[in-house]
Amino acid sequence: MTLTDPLHDTLAQLRDSSDLRVWSVIVTLMGDLTVMGTPGADASGVSGQALGKVMAALGIRPEATRVALHRLRKDGWIESTRHGRRSVYHLTPDGLAQTKAVADRIYGPARPTPDQWHLLVLPPQAEDDGSFDSLIAEGFSELIPGVFLGTSAPQTTPDALHLSDPNTELPSWVIATLAPPKLQIDSEQLRNAIDRLPLDALHDLPALDRAALRLVLLHEWRRIALRLPDLPVEAICPALQVRGLVQEALSALGPLSIEELTS
């Protein structure tokens, strides 16, 4: 792939700084085509030829791509159909449902600072009665065993101590619990990489180059976004505030499309 500096350096940095698991990259690609690509992208699928081109642009060998596709089929993420000599890959209904379930966490806006925080301390036996799972389903995060933080009043929880605080500033140890150092470091690396991109010139790149750059940026961001707790931590932790830059870069690159990958 021919990317002029600083694009080549940026691509290499993001590719090498993260654990580039091939199966996960394919999930990112197919999810992006489905959520943000051309209308009906989930129905038309992506050909093995197109998939191979963009994987090769990332330096991923055909053998690794084949192994990853086999794993994704085995795990129920994708299925394939034959059209003559071509294989076309689709997300399975379950894969599509899982993709759409997290789409807003990846592509949506950051949640604003809450009006107040809610702290819930559960009795020792609460884990056995399902209270932990219920609170997590409501968007609470466990700070220490039996102590949960949320942004809205929980449903009735017997024998729990419920406290609310309108002060939206959280102690540093709480922020560090919700946003571990590795998550902050990864966000900072992604921010630095995007800061070096000439966003106003990205639309002039060849289609395959844009696809490869979009995929590596999106894949790195997806790894970060899906590790964020179900709380508005981006609003209270400046080190995590990279979502807007990612969205700006993806907008400059434009959406992927089946036509671009097969041209």
How would you write 125-144 as a 3-class SS string? HHHHHCHHHHHHHCCCEEEE
Residue 171, CA distances (Å) to 53, 112, 124, 237, 255 in order: 48, 18, 25, 11, 40
**pLDDT score for 57:** 85
DSSP-based three-state secondary structure for 166? coil
**pLDDT score for 261:** 64
DSSP-based three-state secondary structure for 250? helix
User: Could you tell me which residues are beta bridge partners of residue 83?
Assistant: 86
Looking at the structure, give the CATH architecture of the domain made up of residues 7-110+181-262.
Orthogonal Bundle (1.10)
- Give 185's contacts (C-beta < 8 A, 6+ positions apart): none
For residues 236 and 220, give the distance between their C-alpha atoms in angstroms, rounded to a whole number: 21
Question: Tokens for 51?
Answer: 């998939």
Contact 116, 52 (CB under 8 A): no
pTM to 2 decimal places: 0.88
Q: What is the residue extent of each domain of the chain? A: 7-110+181-262, 117-167
Please provide the DSSP assignment of 34-45 as one string. HHHSSTTHHHH-
CA dihedral (92, 246, 49, 34) positive or negative: positive
**pLDDT score for 196:** 87
**pLDDT score for 123:** 85
Please list the pLDDT of the chain residue by residue as tens digits (263 residues).
Answer: 444 554 577 667 766 555 678 999 999 999 998 887 654 445 567 888 889 998 988 888 999 999 999 999 999 999 988 877 778 898 999 999 999 999 999 999 999 999 999 999 988 876 667 788 889 989 999 999 999 999 998 887 778 899 999 988 899 999 999 999 999 999 999 999 999 888 998 888 888 888 888 998 999 999 999 999 989 999 999 999 999 999 999 999 988 776 666 65
DSSP-based three-state secondary structure for 62? helix
